């Protein structure tokens, strides 16, 4: 059996393959479809959305008054604000502490469809107070909190798995050592390296491989040995 050194590139490949396997076996937590529908409906049916819809429709009429109010083609400088517009979103970001948006806790929900809603900007954040019904608001906060807890557990498990695999790879210097410690890890090793590991070698070849693995240069030490012999030691 040949000796295969765990080079930096090989370690990186094994680690990457191991993480891909984790992501397949342990998907990132997602919101349930029913919970997504509840949150989307609550936002779309809110008084805020109804009001923004009215403002948007009024704002669309402003160009007809342009000649009376401004000679500028762009209405924003003339009126000093951007009107709300209907936009298509695939994510909703809830702010759970909107009174202090700089430090407010934000949770982003990936939707299972595109949703048309009114906003003053694209990808707008949704203050939780936008949800009018207190019971519905409390239910959404509960959904968001549970999701964050699942995400915390997922991140902890993923980080622990990453640290365990990385630590083993750093402790081992050869592929044989790695597989002896973790036989199932063979699934993450490139096939050409497995083939190389199982190649039969002679004693001379093995000795040469050992020298290569530890970067042993015998030139200098051989000079010492030869000099000592010549001097009668």
Taking only the tens place, the pLDDT of each residue in 163-210 is 999 999 999 999 999 999 999 999 999 999 998 888 875 555 555 666
Q: Mean of the per-residue pLDDT values for the chain?
A: 80
Q: How far apart, in whole angstroms, are the C-alpha atoms of residue 3 and residue 180?
A: 13
pLDDT at 133: 93
Task: Give the sign of the dihedral formed by CA 52, CA 53, CA 55, CA 56.
Answer: positive
- In this prediction, residue 226 carries a pLDDT of 60
pLDDT surpasses 50 at 77: no
- Whole-angstrom Cα distance, residue 169 to residue 16? 12
Is residue 91 within a helix (H) or strand (E), and if so which, with residue range? strand 85-95
Q: What is the pLDDT of residue 56?
A: 79
- 35 or 201: whose pLDDT is higher? 35
- The per-residue pLDDT for 120 is 61
């Amino acid at each position: 059996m040949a000796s295969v050194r765990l080079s930096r590139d090989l370690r990186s490949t094994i680690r990457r393959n191991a993480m891909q396997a984790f992501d397949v076996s342990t998907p990132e937590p997602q919101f349930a479809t029913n919970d997504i529908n509840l949150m989307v409906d609550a936002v779309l049916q809110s008084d805020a959305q109804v009001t923004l819809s009215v403002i948007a429709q009024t704002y669309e009429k402003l160009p007809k008054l342009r000649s009376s109010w401004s000679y500028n083609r762009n209405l924003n400088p003339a009126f000093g604000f951007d009107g709300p517009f209907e936009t298509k979103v695939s994510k909703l970001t809830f702010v759970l502490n909107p009174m202090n948006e700089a430090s407010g806790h934000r949770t982003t929900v990936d939707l299972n469809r595109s949703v048309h809603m009114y906003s003053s900007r694209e990808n707008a954040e949704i203050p939780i107070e936008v949800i009018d019904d207190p019971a519905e608001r409390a239910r959404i906060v509960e959904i968001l909190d549970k999701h964050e807890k699942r995400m915390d557990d997922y991140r902890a498990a993923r980080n622990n798995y990453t640290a365990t695999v990385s630590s083993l790879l750093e402790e081992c210097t050869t592929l044989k050592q790695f597989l002896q410690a973790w036989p199932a890890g063979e699934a993450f090793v490139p096939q050409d390296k497995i083939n190389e590991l199982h190649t039969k070698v002679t004693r001379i070849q093995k000795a040469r491989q050992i020298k290569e693995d530890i970067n042993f240069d015998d030139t200098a030490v051989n000079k010492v040995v030869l000099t000592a012999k010549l001097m009668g030691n």
